[in-house]
Chain A
Amino acid sequence: MELNNSKIKIKAKNLNVYYGKKQALFDINLDINQKEVTALIGPSGCGKSTFIRCINRMNDVIDICKVEGSVEIDGAEINEKNVDVVTLREKVGMVFQKPNPFPKSIYDNIAYGPIIHGAAENKDQMDKIVETSLKKAALWDEVKDRLNEPGTSLSGGQQQRLCIARALSVNPEVILMDEPCSALDPIATAKIEELIDDLKKSYTIVIVTHSMAQAVRVSQKTGFFHLGKIIEVDSTDKIFKNPANKMTQDYITGRFG
């Protein structure tokens, strides 16, 4: 199912996830290409979010969650005990469904990650990191005069871009986005999508979305999940114009889900 010559960044093999006794993902095999946007679609509860949380091991936080199988990033297995989760999450950033800025100033929100990882040696370097991250997230011009105001004082769309800037501040290679626009209005959504388009030049992006239109607009590759299984993965173009599977066809045309 290799579409072009792009290098595979993330490779999931026979991935099974359980919440207690309930199985949430069944034998997932999925390749995610470097510097591309991969969209994951499917009805609620189908396992899309569970899947992307496997890529930065966020499922570790949930006590009852058990992950089996393999996820490789650049050919290195991440599901092994000796893998340092901190380094992994430095490499794989995440943006959540609801904007979740910390109860700190805009500046401190961005500086949080670099401080933890010791990325800046002095105030000047930190200022530089904050500025670059905010510029990358297309937020700099809107907030440069009020970096000391609380992050929570921004609008919903700005908050979400702040969260993207926060994820970018530690120079990740992969950015996971879990329905990043579901809490935003169409204008803020358009800005985020524009931003995603821009970011894919330097980052590998995996985005979970409920909006088919969004998947079409931003992604190059789309995976359709249903009841914890991958039904179909292909180029976005193919999935939305000529899906191989009947179920995919039904879902994207709105017959179920």
Chain B
Amino acid sequence: MNSLIAGVILILCLSSYFFGRSEARKLVTQNIKLKALPAYYGYYLSLWCGLPALIIFGCWSLFEPAIIKVLILNNFPQIESKDLFYEQTLSFFNGNFSGEITNEIKAASIKYSSINIIAQNSKIVIIAAALIGSLTFAYRKIQNNNKARDDVEIILKVLLFTSSLVAILTTVGIIVSLLFESLKFFSTINIFEFIFGTSWSPQRAFVRDASAITPEELLELQDAFGSVPLFAGTAFIALIAMCVAVPIGLFSGIYLAEYASTKVRKYSKPIIEILAGIPTVVYGFFAALTVGPFFRTFGESLGLTVSSESALAAGLIMGVMIIPYISSLSDDVINSVPQSLREGSYAIGATKSETIKKVVIPAALPGIIGSILLAVSRAIGETMIVVMAAGLAANLTINPLESTTTITTQIVMILVGDQEFDSPKTQAAFALGLTLFIATLILNYIALRVVKKYREKYD
């Protein structure tokens, strides 16, 4: 039904474009000088035809279920667990209910069926009215030879603004949801225990009923959510990754920008960028199945105990994954350093490497730092490689050969499988997500400030 309505609206939109255009052309044949090209009148009519109807259609579909639910539940004030009752009614109505059928469910289902029909019909009527109304309005405007070009411009501006608004509101929505779930978590678990606690063992956080946590359970919970090992693990693996990615990425960026011939550059840059296109899960099993075991055998031959899931393997492969971010971006910024600066340096007798070290790199520094910080937030947020290669044990260690774990890994571990939404364990994922979000936000802010500071100094 809904797709039929949407289809009709779109077909009407399309045909009203041609209708509007031909109407405008008719005006031309009557020797009236148009204020815009005929096609603009087509767009104008088409936009007026489609947008109001689609907006009403969208809003209606969004709010209809909630309104119907309220209308039905109002008739059954005696029911205790209303949500459950309503779910049962819906599944009974759809013919896939397998529980005990009560009289209330039957009555509610009949009610639902009648309200549903009314809702469908009124939806069609209202949308049709909107279509006719807006079409007539736009058609009149065309007959009056309005400035369709300017009006189309305004409509498009509003459309683009709405799109960006949607993006912003989504972000705000995500943050708010993170915030509220985290607040719930912090109402059970002390926030200081979470931030400064050094023991992470959410598997201990088993509660029989999350809405009524017993004092003994709470005591057990309090020290199960210390996030320090996770942050330490995240920072440690990111550090290993940066140790690999920054020198290799930067040097290859410098080589590509300054030394490579046009031909070498043409082929090698896309090849390096392919690294960025490999799915992280592929890196993950490469790290877990090839690199990890290799380190273990190699370590054993040296007499070292190497865990088969080690921070080193995960960090190393993550570093490889990040190389193209740094090399490609720094190649671009180095290329954008004006040639005149290089010539100035050569002209005074500097060699190529002196010029790069003392003139080109300092000039490109803001961009290079920006690319490195971007890579750091990529490393911190990376999930798949660490899930597969770094292990799950929350060890607080600085030994790269031991297994360790990261924030993202733990979020995955908490949320895979069936979960109760109100248990502290699940809410811990939101708290971790929030802290991760704040950490990357601070990092990005610092990155922007650094870039800005250097820019003011050198431009």
Contacts and interface: CB of A to CB of B under 8 A. Distances in A.
A256 interface: no
Interface string A43-80: 00000000000001010010100000000000000000
Contacts, number: 75
Contacts of A167: 347-348
Given A103-B363, A103-B458, A150-B458, A170 B340 contact: no
Interface stretch (B179-187, B349-357, B440-448): B349-357
A253 interface: no
Point out which of A63, A85, A116, A150 has the most chain B C-beta atoms below 10 A from its C-beta: A116
Nearest to A149: B457
Contacts of A85: 349
Given A63-B261, A103-B363, A89 B458 contact: no
Interface stretch (A19-27, A30-38, A91-99, A200-208): A91-99
A69 to B, nearest CB: 22
Contacts of B340: 96, 98, 100
Nearest to B352: A61
B137 interface: no
B348 to A, nearest CB: 4
Contacts of B342: 61
A6 interface: no
A99 to B, nearest CB: 9
B354 A100 contact: no
Interface string A109-129: 000110011000000000000
A90 B349 contact: yes
B345 interface: yes
Given A100-B338, A102-B359, A113 B343 contact: no
Given A63-B261, A116-B354, A100 B348 contact: no
B368 to A, nearest CB: 13
A170 B341 CA distance: 18
A89 B351 contact: no
Nearest to A169: B348
B362 A89 contact: no
B111 interface: no
B58 interface: no
A58 B342 CA distance: 11
A83 interface: no
A87 B348 CA distance: 9
Point out which of B261, B342, B344, B345 has the most chain A C-beta atoms below 10 A from its C-beta: B344
A135 interface: no
A152 B349 contact: no
B22 to A, nearest CB: 54
A112 B350 CA distance: 9
Nearest to B459: A152
B345 A102 contact: yes
A85 B347 CA distance: 10
A7 interface: no
Interface in B324-371: 338, 340-351, 354, 358-359, 362-363
B344 A96 contact: yes
A63 B263 CA distance: 12
Contact of B349 (A101, A104, A113): A113
A86 interface: yes
A86 B344 CA distance: 13
A104 B457 CA distance: 9
B347 A56 contact: yes
A94 to B, nearest CB: 4
Contacts of A61: 342-343, 346
A89 B351 CA distance: 11
Nearest to A95: B347
B166 to A, nearest CB: 41
A112 B347 contact: no
Nearest to A103: B458
Given A102-B341, A103-B363, A116-B354, A166 B348 contact: yes
A12 interface: no
A102 B344 contact: yes
Point out which of A86, A117, A152, A169 has the most chain B C-beta atoms below 10 A from its C-beta: A86
Nearest to B338: A100
Interface in A157-198: 163, 166-167, 169-170
Contacts of B349: 85-90, 113, 116-117, 170
Nearest to A61: B346
Contacts of B459: 152
A97 B226 CA distance: 63
A148 to B, nearest CB: 11
Contacts of B351: 86
Given A113-B350, A116-B349, 13 more contacts: A56-B347, A89-B348, A90-B349, A96-B340, A96-B343, A96-B344, A98-B340, A100-B341, A103-B341, A103-B363, A113-B348, A152-B458, A170-B348
22 contacts: A61-B343, A61-B346, A86-B349, A86-B350, A86-B351, A89-B347, A93-B348, A96-B344, A96-B347, A98-B340, A100-B340, A100-B341, A100-B344, A101-B344, A102-B341, A103-B359, A103-B458, A104-B362, A112-B345, A113-B350, A116-B348, A116-B350
Interface of B: 261, 338, 340-351, 354, 358-359, 362-363, 457-459
